[in-house]
Amino acid sequence: MTSEPAPRDKFMVIFRGGAVGEHDLSPAQLQAHLEKWHRWSDALARQGRNNTGTALDDQGVTVRGRERVVTDGPYAESKDLVTGSMIFEADSLEDALEVARGCPTYEFGGSVEVRPIPGD
């Protein structure tokens, strides 16, 4: 009889700042950075963490306040601008934190917020 592995919790990581578009990168430098992201994401998939995520464009709008005023763009300080997110599985918050430490976003001054996703 084979036992199923213990279910993992889900976590969302929210990437802030670290956008490569703010830097004057050569095509080769950009490609090398994107390959780091692919290697990191592929490693999570190989570990069975069922990761899904996406980068975000810097275009958009923001709706604020009771009056729901719409302003152009998701304007904030560039270091605080959400540039993407990912959901993956981890054994604990500490395990998710270790995953986040390997993220390539730090190379360009980004940060990663790690948040547990409540279970069903």
pLDDT at 5: 66
Beta-carbon count within 10 A of 64 CB: 9
Quick one: which H or E segment has residue 53?
A: strand 52-55
CA distances from 83 to 31, 65, 78 (A): 18, 23, 9
pLDDT at 76: 60
Architecture of domain 9-117: 2-Layer Sandwich (3.30)
Q: What percent of the chain has pLDDT over 90?
A: 50
pTM above 0.85, yes or no: no
Asked if 13 and 90 count as a contact pair (C-beta separation under 8 A), the reply is no
Q: Average pLDDT, stretch 17-23?
A: 76
The token pair at 2 is 């084979």
Q: Which residues are bridge partners to 69 per DSSP? A: 64
Residues in CB range of 35: below 8 A, 6 or more apart = none
pLDDT in tens, 31-87: 999 999 999 999 999 999 988 988 888 777 778 777 777 776 656 655 578 889 999
